[in-house]
């Protein structure tokens, strides 16, 4: 062992810290089987180094056996019993459709006292909740971008709760307006996403936090992987979710002293809200074309903008109509004795985050482009430039042949 130089030991320590940190992060994230297998392969590389360079075989076998016993004990230990739902009150935003509507029905069926906000009390989603759910469910008409309506919802909730606190706040309401390149996205798109996804959610959270602190309850926010990763053509939506993620993560630290548990849920691709509404996206697309400057439309081309719309609609058609993974996660975050900080709700998300966190930037960047919007057309100006360069090269080649 004395033959090994100082750089070798530095290298071995760095490798140990890196592999150990990656293992801890991956296993704690409850990712899918493939990334976990990659993590164990990394650990195997470390073990191989230790075996070859500095540990007797017997000691190594003892360490491996001990590590396996600890790991298997942790995996086979039965999870702690869930908390009872009876007597607990939950406030959910955005229950007209999608996750909010499904969550309100599930939580009501479990015995929660549910306060469900909708934009339209006479809409299909509100009528469905009134028809299906028990008298424990209270419908409130709330636009979360309107502070007066949020304050009124607080008064109505307090009136029903009496001296009790609020066990759960589920921030679900959100919008995703017309997608497209950031330069093509209207400022109204950016403002609209920020008003609902960030400012509206911040206002609801701040308004109801005193009730959550009183009950030492749970703050649960439905966010998006687009807030962590730069998905092409989702700049407005992703920016609003990124701001929301930072706000929620800050609250997680600040509310720990109050006994309030804070969780973020990151769903995969699901058919929610207007995502599968063809008429809605056609109207958004028409509005975009009408408001783009002629010069910008000339540079990108109407066919380029049309392709983006068609690709997004194709992606929306393939989205998962079954909300149960997300709803199961909401229930778990509300009732688990030790809820997780982050939940990945949907197949494939573990792999997406593994590539984003651990692979080189060039690989993760290429993966995102292939995963979401697989564009084939270049902007019109670039196509013209490519054609001009091709013609120029052909012309130069012909001149060179004549000189010969």
**Which of 246, 274, 260 shows the shortest CA–CA distance to 213?**
260
What is the Cα–Cα distance from 101 to 176, expressed in whole angstroms? 18
CB atoms within 10 A of CB 149: 16
CB 164 within 8 A of CB 215: yes
Active site residues: 237
**Which of 174, 187, 215, 280 shows the shortest CA–CA distance to 83?**
215
Q: Starting at the edge strand that comes first in sequence, how are the strands of the sheet with 168-171 ordered?
A: 138-141, 113-118, 89-92, 168-171, 218-222, 261-267, 342-345
Helix (H) or strand (E) holding 385: helix 380-403
CB 3 within 8 A of CB 52: no
What is the Cα–Cα distance from 144 to 202, expressed in whole angstroms? 9
**Which of 349, 110, 138, 54 shows the shortest CA–CA distance to 226?**
349
What is the Cα–Cα distance from 38 to 48, expressed in whole angstroms? 15
249 — alpha (psi -120 to 50), left (phi > 0) or beta? alpha
Residue with tokens 């942790």: 74
**Which of 177, 372, 375, 347 shows the shortest CA–CA distance to 275?**
177
DSSP string spanning 298-364? HHH-HHHHHHHHHHHHHHHHTSB---HHHHHHHHHHHH-SS--SEEEESTTHHHHHHHHHHS-HHHH
What is the Cα–Cα distance from 359 to 355, expressed in whole angstroms? 5
What is the Cα–Cα distance from 308 to 296, expressed in whole angstroms? 16
What is the Cα–Cα distance from 267 to 318, expressed in whole angstroms? 15
């Amino acid at each position: 062992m004395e033959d090994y130089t100082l750089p070798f030991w530095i290298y071995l320590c760095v490798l140990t810290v890196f592999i150990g940190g990656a293992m801890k992060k991956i296993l704690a994230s409850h990712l899918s089987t493939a990334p976990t297998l990659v993590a164990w392969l990394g650990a195997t590389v470390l073990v191989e180094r230790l075996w070859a360079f500095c540990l007797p075989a017997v000691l190594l076998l003892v360490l491996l056996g001990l590590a396996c016993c600890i790991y298997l004990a942790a995996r086979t230990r039965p999870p702690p019993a869930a908390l009872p739902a009876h007597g607990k009150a939950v406030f959910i935003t955005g229950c007209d459709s999608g996750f909010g509507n499904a969550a309100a029905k599930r939580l009501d069926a479990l015995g929660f006292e549910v306060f469900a906000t909708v934009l339209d009390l006479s809409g299909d989603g509100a009528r469905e909740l009134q028809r299906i759910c028990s008298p424990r469910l209270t419908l409130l008409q709330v636009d979360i971008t309107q502070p007066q309506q949020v304050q009124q919802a607080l008064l109505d909730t307090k009136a029903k709760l009496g001296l009790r606190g609020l066990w759960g706040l589920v921030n679900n309401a959100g919008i995703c307006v017309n997608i497209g390149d950031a330069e093509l996205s209207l400022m109204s798109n950016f403002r609209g996403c920020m008003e609902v996804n960030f400012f509206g959610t911040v206002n609801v959270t701040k308004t109801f936090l005193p009730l959550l602190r009183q009950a030492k309850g749970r703050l649960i926010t439905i966010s998006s992987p687009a807030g962590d990763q730069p998905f092409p053509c989702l700049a407005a939506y992703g920016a609003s979710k990124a701001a929301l993620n930072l706000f929620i993560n800050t609250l997680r630290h600040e509310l720990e002293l109050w006994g309030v548990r804070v969780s973020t849920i990151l769903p995969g691709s699901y058919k929610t809200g207007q995502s599968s509404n063809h008429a809605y996206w056609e109207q958004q697309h028409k509005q975009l074309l009408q408001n783009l400057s002629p010069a910008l439309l000339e540079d990108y081309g109407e066919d380029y903008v049309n392709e983006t719309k068609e690709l997004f609609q194709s992606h929306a058609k393939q989205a998962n109509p079954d909300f149960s993974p997300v709803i199961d996660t909401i229930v778990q975050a509300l009732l688990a004795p030790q809820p997780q900080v982050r939940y990945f709700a949907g197949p494939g998300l573990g792999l997406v985050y593994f590539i984003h966190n651990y692979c080189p930037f060039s690989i993760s960047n290429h993966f995102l482009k292939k995963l979401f919007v697989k564009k084939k057309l270049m902007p019109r100006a670039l196509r013209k430039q490519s054609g001009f360069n091709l013609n120029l090269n052909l012309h130069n080649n012909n001149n060179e042949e004549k000189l010969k």
